[in-house]
Structure 1
Amino acid sequence: MKVKSIYVNLPVKDLDKTRAFWSKLGFSFNEQFSDDKALCLVLQEDLMYSMLITHEFFSTFTNRPISDSSTTQVLTALEVHSREQVNSIVRLALENGGTRYRESTDHGWMYYDSFADIDGHQWEVMFTDPTHIPL
């Protein structure tokens, strides 16, 4: 079984602030799938996206309450190409309204750092180098 692409759907409070936050981190949006109810954040073109959906519209897709920023519903991990890229994304997130919920971790072969975005969604950004996995 293989999937064509993945869309992680997350509720957000303010689309304008959400667009500004992710734009400042260097990400873009697929405008074809963005409107006044949702933004389509491009994580990897043709493969990975996050639909950032207003609370009102998000509630039409579920019969469960929407979790708030005081709870953890999901941890979304993004693998990037270098430790420097990990540090850059997390630094930009923190400079633009994101918050730190744990310190960075270095296992030698895997390095990651974390931030919560302006809606409290938790993101882990990681770099791995399998050639350094201890035998």
Structure 2
Amino acid sequence: MKNQIILNLPVKDLDKSKAFFSSLGFTFSDRFSGENAAFMNIAGDTIQAMLTAEPFFQSLINKPVVQAKDANEVVICLSCESREEVDSLIAKAVAAGGRTPHPPEDHGFMYDQGFEDIDGHLWNLVWMAPEA
């Protein structure tokens, strides 16, 4: 059974992307990072992302790199422990240069809001009531 998710995301400027995600509270592992990539911890040992400088990312694939500000292939959805955590992370993302593509959605049992990071990747943060 698989017990880890590692997302590989191309980024324009590795240092700026690290600063953006650091401001949201994510940490990086120096052990798996270098001049072309940074290994970001999202949820302990189970969910990570490899932020990869776009030229290096391109060398790993045999088709064009999608420009996430122009088109998206995926929306990364992360669960949060509360509505307040959703709102807090959104505020941090916006303060760090991200943007919100839509207003928060409150369905009573579920609350969510998304942000676009500085490279255009879409992230959705969701809280679900335990009884839902």
Normalising by structure 2, report the TM-score.
0.95
**Residue 67 in structure 1 maps to residue 66 in structure 2:** yes
Q: Deviations over 1:43-83 (max 9, x none)?
A: 11211001110111111221111111111111000101111
Partner of 2:106: 106
Unaligned runs of 5+ in 1: none
Partner of 1:56: 55
Structure 1 residue 26, shift from structure 2 partner: 1.1
Where 1:94 maps in the other structure, the secondary structure is helix
- The letter for the 2-side match of 1:32 is R
State the identity as a percent.
38
**Residue 116 in structure 1 maps to residue 102 in structure 2:** no
- The letter for the 1-side match of 2:109 is W
- Spell out structure 1 runs of 4+ moving beyond 3 A: none
- The letter for the 1-side match of 2:121 is H
Distance in 2, matches of 1:65 and 1:104, equals 33
- Superposed CA RMSD: 0.9
